[in-house]
Amino acid sequence: MLENLKPYTGPKSQHSLPELFVPNVLSQDDDRLWVPNGPNRWSRPLCLNVSQGYWVHLTKFKGKGFLSRHKHPAPVHAYVLKGTWRYLEREWVATPGSYLYETPGDIHTLVVDQEQDEMITMFQNHGAITYFDENNQIEKIIDVFHYVKLASEHFEKIGLGTDYVKKFLR
C-alpha cells in the first residue's frame, strides 16, 4: 500500500517559505548550539519567527536554577522532555511528558529545585516577556529580537558566525 504512494507534484504557492527542519535537537554532538541564557541555563533556538513575533526553543538547566518571575502577554506552550521543574506559584511539578499551556497575563517563577543532570523543556513563546524584581517592579522586557541578538552574538563568539542564526529565522 505505501509503495503506491506518490508525492504531491501540483502547483505550489509562489510566496511560501521553505520549511524549517532542525534534525537531532537533543543530540549531544554539538553543545555549541546551546546559547548561554543565565546561570546553569541555556537556550537552543528552533524557530525565531521575527515576522510574527514568536520563538520556539529548548530551555536547558543543569543542576538547580530558576528563571525570574515573569509575565507573558500572549500564550506560551511548553512540553517537558527531560528532568523536572515547577512554578513557585503552583502546586504541580512538570515531569517528562508534561504539557503546559500558560494563559496570557499570568505571572510565575520557574524553578528547577532538584539537583539533576539536565532539565530540557520546549517552549513556544509569543510576544514579549516582562521580568519583575522582588518588589514587583519591571526589571526588563525581552522578545524574539532579543533572542535573535543573543543567539547571533553567541554563534559569532564560538566561530559559527553571526549569520548562523539565519537557519532559525522565519
The rounded average pLDDT for each run of 10 residues, N- to C-terminus, in the chain (170 residues) is 89 88 85 93 97 97 95 96 97 98 95 93 97 95 97 97 96
What is the model's pLDDT at position 112? 97
Query: How far apart (Å, rounded) are the C-alpha atoms in residues 37 and 147?
Result: 9
**pTM, full prediction:** 0.92
| pLDDT at 14 (0 to 100) | 87
In this predicted structure, what is the pLDDT of residue 163? Answer: 96
What's the Rg (C-alpha) of the chain?
18
Q: What is the reported pLDDT for 42?
A: 96
Lateral strand order in the sheet of 119-126: 35-36, 41-49, 54-61, 119-126, 76-82, 99-102
For the chain, give every domain's residue range.
31-168
Pick the CATH number of 31-168 from 2.60.120.10, 2.60.40.10, 1.10.10.60, 3.40.50.1970: 2.60.120.10
